[in-house]
Structure 1
Amino acid sequence: MTIANIALLLLALLAVARGQQEVGRGRRKNFEVMVPMSDGVELHTKIYFPRDSTSKTNDGKFPCVLDRSPYGYGDMEEFMNIFLPFGFVSIGQDMRGTEKSDGNWNMFLDEAGDSLDMGNWIVQQDWSNGEVYTFGMSADGMGSIQTIENAPSWLKGQYVGWAPSRIYNVLFPHGAYKQKTTEDWVTDLDMANESWLPSLLQTIHENENHSDEFWGQVEMSDEKLANVDFPNAIWAGWYDIFQAETLALFDGYNEKRRETKLVVDPVGHCLEAQTFWTQDVVYGRTGLALAQAFEVFGIMDLKRTNIKNITYYLMSSNDTAGEEAGQYWSTTEEWPKHSPTSYYLHAGGVASTQSVVGGEDESTTYLYDPADPVPTVGGNNLPHSIGGSIPCGPLDQNEVDDRDDVLVFETEVMEDALYLTGPLLANLFVSSDAIDTDFSVKISDVYPTGEALIISDQTFRMRWRENGDAPDMIVNGTVYNIEVNVWNTSYAVAPGHALRFTVSSSNYPRFSVNPNNGLLLADPEYPGKNVTAMNTLHHSEEYKSKFILPVVEKPKRVRVLKELESMGISDEMVEVFATRLGN
């Protein structure tokens, strides 16, 4: 990458950040067109050419970078212009049924076919050299990954950010409906046919079970992932709404090539948490994501740097102890091996690595009233600034943890830093006198000053505990063993801090309130009459409820900002990049 190209890159970044667009020069002019799909539906498309109309091969033909989006060209589609100085044609297309495109939008079900049709159209143009790369963040990325289903020969690389491998596990983790985020997002789309919205929401509600017939159409199966034979890179965030499934996407892509690049920053979609982490980041971001995209597209080579395939941010508290224990980047070829370490829950609010602490450990019962749910405070949510309505990030849980319907368990204060990197699990033994209910779990960092800042949380809807096509209601008094995937983290619990584990039965509006009456979302009578439940967490020698944490050795540090500077990517460029993604 030459100094001249770096200067062009900075100019391109500034132009994008200011909402400007490249102006074609020479014989190629930028244009808009309605591109017909194979079923006749036309999709609105903008095409931008490099300023210099002479291609690398001097034949007037260019590689193309394609971003298909439901948000229109004023959003992430416009970001494709960053590749113009490097000889790429930049193409942005409105997904079917959104913005200026015709048809009906249908939860990405049409994206495999539409992306195939679009790529086939591109390579037939006289300015195409037959190579198409895709770029997609968030919903754009969710559409982009559908391209692999048909294994098109023209697909030469993909850069994907904040997109899930299995969308069901994001919208309905363990069957619990993330109603507010889902419906905030869907209803905020500018659909070509607004009358289609009620039907779309009804379809989502009808598929609250993990139906392969519906959700399997857009999930990354082994068969689809076998088509990944091109350079690719993935960007995730620890407090991102898609976190666990973006990491699962990396695992799926990397299984085939073993060369997939990954960067995990602290925030992802969670822009509100950008200033919480201060070490070696710019607004919670890293320009390494940009550098990896350039590597996928053949613009930059990272092999001479200290950057490995997986680069992730080790989070910690935002006090002096946390800055000394963590808040830095680590890079490795594979995820560090972790030791699954159990913290057992005991009477008196104690969490300990000892499985039994005396004979008093039996169970704790609490009343769950659906009319008075535990409110959501932070976590992996979609914030107001980008179309959501729930505050996100590491917020203090003390107010909600003081409620009678929240069971609180704490470890002793850490004498030494505890390093965690990997999956978080809760293995609980539970019962209820209702036919259906939820169990919500949370892990927080307890500061010496008393605050308890959330690290991760999750909810488990009991009627879907068997992952079947039909709900399986629970039996009064029966003790059930459930395993809750509390997603993942890389976190240093600093000396002087402790960990808090909580169990309750609601976390609203992050998850919809379970009325405990067994009615399904699509039932005309839903939500029906609330049923107040007496729910029980069992913690005895027979029923050892616990949280399982991924304990690792202290990760090695890499100074990513210095590495970027050695590549010619300055702090100022990273700031432009980070703030652009923050708008």
Structure 2
Amino acid sequence: MKTAALRSALVSLVCLLSAAAFAASQDSAKVTPDMIQTGSDIPAHWTQPQGNFDYVQREVMIPMRDGVKLHTVILIPKGAHDLPMLLERTPYNASGFVRENSPHMADAVWSGDKDWADGSYILVWQDIRGKYGSEGQYIMTRPPVGPLNPTKTDDTTDAWDTIDWLVKNIKESNGKVGMIGSSYDGWTVAMALLHPHPALKVAAPESPMIDGWMGDDWYHYGALRQINLDYFTEQSSVKGSGKPVPRESYDDYTNFLEAGSAGDYADAHGFKQIPWWNRFAAHPAYDAFWQLQALDKLLAAHPSDVPTMWLQGLWDQEDIYGAVHAWEALDKAGHSANNHLVIGPWWHSQINRSAWNLGPLKWPGDTAAQFRQRVMIPWFNHYLRDTALATPLPEAMIYNAVEQHWDNFNNWKPASEQQLTPLYLQANMGLGFEQAGSGDDSYISDPAKPVSYLPRPIPVDNEDRWRTWLVQDQRFVVDRPDVLSYTTPVLTKTVWVQGAPIADILAKTTGTDGDFVVKLIDVYPGTDPTDPTMGGYELPVSLDIFRGRYRKSFSDPSAIPANVVQEYKFRLPTVNYEFKPGHRIMVQIQSTLFPLYDRNPQTYVPNILFAKPSDYQKATVTIEHGAEGHSAVLLPMVAGAGGGN
């Protein structure tokens, strides 16, 4: 008790002394004028000391011919003189390409530009019209001046005016410009090539948006890639970065299925406010709206002499169509000398990131970094810095994912010139190079239970699954009754395929419309001692979807006559692939790939985007491989294994 009382007394004494000390300090404190801030603690102008920076950053507004000014970010290595400029025009925020406040240029830029930020290039990024810091009105992939664009400006003139300003005002440059960019930014490169400025000496459109209806972002052969509707709100709802469509469910399969048609989904989320959606939705077929802005056709009609490297990925989940078709159109027009095709083992835009693997497929090194450093940058240097090339760039470079090396081709043939070997569907779910057996196989396609393109659930924000869905093991659908799987016997010799396979499907349906998904698959042996997880893996090599109403004409759709055999013939993505001994080849056929693509109601309606719930009907689809037609996948086969020609 005495101890407790003593402790209490000591605490009281300490408190009294502390209070007295605080009162004394208050009495002695004097407030001086420098202690009081009446305005904001944020200065009107802030200048960061950059004496230790190895570059100078400038932000300018470059005037276009109609007076509109475009926000442009320029990084110039300190002490630079006679350096070339690398230009990228983007709707994705030019300021965002300088991601870090670092004194070192290579550390300041985003990953895709680090190899270029070694002090030998002036780097330039520009916001296109109407986006982020640029003036003017934004129009999604603004069509070239002409019937769809009655103004006097487009992304061709804007690129010309930008380059003209740069070579006249950036005194540290040598007056030479290269252009680079992927996806939408690849589209801006392609637009610049329609009428290039004389100072544009080299270009690399990477996975460019070339034809949004035929096979890039918006449609594939008329089937809507509806999960890209998020992009419409992200790009077109505000000048800066918009938000994706809000979701009720974690699983996008549920979200789109419950919404009904794509048009119902869009209407429910305010899309009628977006002019781009209204134009888009009014043109579901390949009419003048799409044809007049198909850049492969425009580039062939107005070819440039600018050395150009057309790049894309073998498993590009967004723009697998554009680069190869632009190159083929230019080659056919007689301009292969200055145009080169590169197809790497990449997902969309992976050329600008690390690429040690693509999902479960592993490569011997970072294939993207190796290509940038060993091929792409030396090639740009040749035209922009007058350096010698160790070896000329071949007409085409296409990665061999099985042998895991690049194959070079000096006579790569466009799809229209390739010799094709039919791989026939056979009786008893067989597959072979000879017609064998007769008959057909049927399945019921039910729009209420569409086949998913990934195992469920399919969250909207899982970027890794989206990037690699084209290499997803297809065993997750092989047992569905609405998926037909035809398989060869175990191969005893290599089947080497170089080019674009063609699906040639003879089928009838009880509906009056319908879609056909065809997949060319490499079935691995049941066990793999080097990687057990790949035992029995069913790897998609090439796949696509075709909307049946366009079997006769992309611009003039027609109903499918019920229960009458029709031919559905369409091109699959380009490959350079070896089916090895011990493996098998599989062809899968189905009618849905959901929710990536919208559901076909299987009842003919004028515009599938606005199909009504009653329009969605089950249909029995019958695939012929006998007397009524020999369905096949036509393969561009070559002799030998590896190497090129």
Counterpart-to-counterpart distance in 2, 1:275 and 1:543: 38
Partner of 1:312: 398
Q: Does residue 113 in structure 1 map to residue 160 in structure 2?
A: no
Structure 1's 390 and 256: CA in aligned 2 closer, same or farther, altered over 3 A? Answer: closer
Q: CA deviation at 1:37?
A: 3.1
Partner of 1:285: 368
Structure 1's 544 and 270: CA in aligned 2 closer, same or farther, altered over 3 A? Answer: farther
Instruction: Report the AA paired with residue 129 of structure 2.
Output: R
Larger deviation: 98-107 or 75-84? Answer: 75-84
Larger deviation: 385-394 or 514-523? Answer: 385-394
Counterpart-to-counterpart distance in 1, 2:624 and 2:130: 49
Instruction: Report the AA paired with residue 160 of structure 1.
Output: P
Partner of 1:567: none
Q: CA deviation at 1:138?
A: 1.9
Q: Does residue 137 in structure 1 map to residue 192 in structure 2?
A: no
Q: CA deviation at 1:555?
A: 4.4
Q: Does residue 376 in structure 1 map to residue 453 in structure 2?
A: yes
Q: Does residue 256 in structure 1 map to residue 335 in structure 2?
A: yes
Q: CA deviation at 1:44?
A: 1.8
Q: Which of 575, 598, 602 is equivalent to 1:512? A: 598
Q: CA deviation at 1:178?
A: 1.5
SS at match of 1:30: strand
Counterpart-to-counterpart distance in 2, 1:527 and 1:41: 47
SS at match of 2:193: helix
Structure 1's 494 and 412: CA in aligned 2 closer, same or farther, altered over 3 A? Answer: same
Structure 1's 46 and 388: CA in aligned 2 closer, same or farther, altered over 3 A? Answer: farther
SS at match of 2:626: coil
Partner of 2:220: 173
Q: Residues 211 and 293 of structure 2 are in contact (CA less than 8 Å); yes or no, is this contact kept in structure 1?
A: no
SS at match of 1:140: helix
Instruction: Report the AA paired with residue 139 of structure 1.
Output: Y
Q: CA deviation at 1:126?
A: 5.7
After TM superposition, the structure 1 = structure 2 runs for residues 341-380 of structure 1, keeping only pairs within 5 Å, are 341-355=421-435, 357-358=436-437, 361-377=438-454
SS at match of 1:444: strand
Partner of 1:553: 639
Partner of 1:47: 74
Q: How many residues align?
A: 516
After TM superposition, the structure 1 = structure 2 runs for residues 232-251 of structure 1, keeping only pairs within 5 Å, are 232-240=308-316, 241-251=318-328
Larger deviation: 26-35 or 500-509? Answer: 26-35
Map Cα deviations across residues 402-435 of structure 1 (whole Å, 9 max, x no partner). 1111111111110122211111111111122222
Partner of 1:266: 345
Structure 1's 144 and 526: CA in aligned 2 closer, same or farther, altered over 3 A? Answer: farther
Q: Percent identity?
A: 23
TM-score by length of 2: 0.72
Q: Does residue 200 in structure 1 map to residue 276 in structure 2?
A: yes
SS at match of 2:602: coil
SS at match of 1:414: coil
Q: Which of 50, 65, 70 is equivalent to 1:38? A: 65
Structure 1's 470 and 39: CA in aligned 2 closer, same or farther, altered over 3 A? Answer: farther
Structure 1's 249 and 118: CA in aligned 2 closer, same or farther, altered over 3 A? Answer: same
Larger deviation: 35-44 or 66-75? Answer: 35-44
Counterpart-to-counterpart distance in 2, 1:184 and 1:486: 26
Higher relative CO (CA 8 A, sep ≥ 6), structure 1 or 2?
Answer: 1
Counterpart-to-counterpart distance in 2, 1:143 and 1:308: 25
Counterpart-to-counterpart distance in 1, 2:167 and 2:51: 20
Counterpart-to-counterpart distance in 1, 2:596 and 2:73: 36
SS at match of 2:224: coil
Structure 1's 347 and 242: CA in aligned 2 closer, same or farther, altered over 3 A? Answer: same
Q: Answer with 1 or 2: which has the greater Rg.
A: 2
Q: Does residue 465 in structure 1 map to residue 465 in structure 2?
A: no
Partner of 1:71: 92
Gaps of 5+ in 2: 1-47, 99-108, 144-153, 243-269, 527-535
Q: Residues 383 and 392 of structure 1 are in contact (CA less than 8 Å); yes or no, is this contact kept in structure 2?
A: no
Partner of 1:475: 561
Q: Residues 437 and 515 of structure 1 are in contact (CA less than 8 Å); yes or no, is this contact kept in structure 2?
A: yes
Map Cα deviations across residues 176-195 of structure 1 (whole Å, 9 max, x no partner). 11121x32333334840769
Gaps of 5+ in 1: 1-20, 57-61, 317-325, 559-583
Q: CA RMSD in A?
A: 3.4
Q: Residues 490 and 584 of structure 2 are in contact (CA less than 8 Å); yes or no, is this contact kept in structure 1?
A: yes
Q: Residues 440 and 459 of structure 1 are in contact (CA less than 8 Å); yes or no, is this contact kept in structure 2?
A: yes
Instruction: Report the AA paired with residue 476 of structure 1.
Output: A
